[in-house]
Amino acid sequence: MLLSTRGLSKQFVGLRAVDSVDFDLPEGEIRALIGPNGAGKTTLVGMISGRIAPSAGRVIFDGRDVTALPAHRRIALGMAYTFQITSVFARLSVAENVALAARRRLKGSAVGSAVEAALDRVGLLPRAGQEAGDLAYGHQRLLEIAMGLAQRPRLLILDEPTQGLAEGEIEAFKTLVREVAQESTILLIEHNMRVVMELANRITVLNFGAVLAEGTPAEIHLNAEVQAAYLGGVSDAAAG
């Protein structure tokens, strides 16, 4: 098992955002994490990636307890996390943003090759010299993915990656994820249910900070509890 959590919880003042979550993600899988707004998805992945300290529980990555490790140490072990809100360096060029990520694992001329390859994969190579802050929002999301890919992660966590993408860009994104899944395990937090159903091997549903259901896309689609809590109020194209 590449990633596991046991009893993972986060208590904020007056709110239990994540409640004793046990979660297992095998290597090589595309796993979608879905749920209503406020279900605890981003808090959960924040604890997995080391950006939020848990109130209780453990995170195990590749057989190692990483609960006490900060985010940069988890990145060094092979985790990469793209944010729900873009976190690019607006005044740096597109290429320079990716180079910063690539330097976490590479040195010298290898950085340039990794930058070019990552930008080519997400379709941003023609914009390599452009300031990142001048990119459209959807392209900034793709730049974040390129920054993740440049780290050659074992686990790539994508938080709302299709937000701001045009329909054609979403199709290209789905192709990209299938390619990346040949070399990295993917945890996808996504509201676009068509993307989820087409990409995910399995889906984990959170509700009120706890796991409501887990299964294949077909099983989740037919699950009455999930329908009541989440899928009943959304269209096939987009949720929430």
Q: What is the 3-state secondary structure (H, E, C) of 134-198?
A: HCCHHHHHHHHHHHHHCCCCCEEEEECCCCCCCHHHHHHHHHHHHHHCCCCEEEEECCCHHHHHH
pLDDT at 107: 82
What integer pLDDT is reported at residue 238 of this predicted model? Answer: 36
| Max avg pLDDT among 17-21, 74-78, 106-110 | 17-21
If 0-12 CB within 10 Å is exposed, 13-18 middle and 19+ buried, where does residue 232 land?
A: exposed
- Write out the H or E segment, with its range, that includes residue 101: helix 94-102
The verdict on residue 183 lying in a domain is no
How many structural domains is the chain composed of?
Answer: 1
Amino acid at 37: N
Per-residue pLDDT band at 219 (split at 50, 70, 90): very high
pLDDT at 227 over 90: no
Using DSSP's 3-state secondary structure scheme, residue 128 falls into: coil
Report pLDDT for 237: 34
What's the whole-number mean pLDDT along residues 182-203?
94
Indicate if the pLDDT at residue 240 is higher than 60: no
**Could you tell me if residue 11 is inside a domain?**
no
Q: CA dist 153 to 46, 81, 104, 157, Å?
A: 17, 9, 11, 9
The pLDDT of residue 127 is above 70 = yes
pLDDT confidence bin for 234, thresholds 50/70/90:
very low
In this prediction the pTM is: 0.85
Establish if 226 belongs to a structural domain.
no
Considering the domain boundaries, does residue 5 fall inside one?
Answer: no
pLDDT, residue 29, reads: 96
Q: Name the average pLDDT for the chain.
A: 89
**Cβ-contact 185, 29 below 8 angstroms:** yes
157, amino acid identity: I
Residue 137 pLDDT greater than 90, yes or no? no
Residue-number span of the structural domain to which 135 is assigned: 89-152
Overall average pLDDT of the 184-204 stretch: 94
Residue, of 157 and 13, whose pLDDT is higher: 157
Q: CA end-to-end span of the chain, whole Å?
A: 31
Q: What is the pLDDT of residues 33-58, one digit of tens each?
A: 999 888 899 899 999 999 999 999 99
62-74 confidence digits (pLDDT tens): 999 999 999 989 9
In a domain, 105, yes or no: yes
Band of the pLDDT at 86, cuts 50, 70, 90? low
Residue 104 lies in a domain: yes
In a domain, 135, yes or no: yes
In a domain, 103, yes or no: yes
Among 193, 202, 195, 198, smallest CA distance to 231 is for 193
**Per-residue pLDDT at 7:** 97
Look at 4-8, 183-187, 196-200, 227-231 and tell me which has the smallest mean pLDDT. Answer: 227-231
